[in-house]
Structure 1
Amino acid sequence: MSLIPLRIPMGYAVCYNKFSDVEPVPCKDSDGLIDNWGYFTEDILQIVKMQIKDGEWVIPKENKVILDLGWYPDSSLYGHYKLVLVNEHWEVIREKYSNNRFEIRDTLEDWMNNPFV
């Protein structure tokens, strides 16, 4: 499977990415779980907004802005993507829920261009 193509503007660091262009496949035993569960876990994507310090791009220790994507409940066929924009204390600034990976991609790209709208 391939990753979802993302338009990431300058100033962001991708810390973790397994946001794949794949649909959930139900388990054959109809237990409500996803057969390809590895793509649908709580840890799918994390991107951090960087800052320029002394002329260099760095991931800040304070005033950090984090974009985090996961699937909730983890591995559940009845789950959904949860995208959050949080600060370094994991206080939610913005959040979006959807089963549609393309809607999540579009929201993610919009938030990177307009993080505090």
Structure 2
Amino acid sequence: MRYPLDRDLHLRGRGIRLVPSYFCWDTPVALADEDLPPVLGFPVSHEHEPAPLPKHLATLLGRTRAAVLYAVAGCPTSGELADRLGVSAAAVSRHTTVLRDAGLITSRRHGAVVLHHLTPAGAALLG
């Protein structure tokens, strides 16, 4: 990965925490303390415009529902979908319910969050 210095981070059996950060620009930042698990902060997109939706999806499903289906390809949580698309949590819930009932996505609770995944049918529709 691109980094300002040539550096190796030896985990020695420890895990590494990957932290997406809006405040990290251009290159990742490694935070290493021998007494703590290593952390790698990496930049997320600073673009506010969503990727253009395929016109056939927006026509078929409606713009917001198509955007939800398109965004589910990254296996986000409901909160991430709401943030990414700029819609309410209630709107995400309604759209994911319709997409799940149509067999295009699956949803699974993991602790306090709900993770969404494309089904083969959903992936085929996006393709």
Fold-level similarity (TM above 0.5): no
Q: Which is greater in Rg? A: 2
> TM-score normalised to the size of structure 1?
0.26
**Relative contact order higher in (CA < 8 Å, ≥ 6 apart):** 1
Structure with the higher helix share, 1 or 2? 2
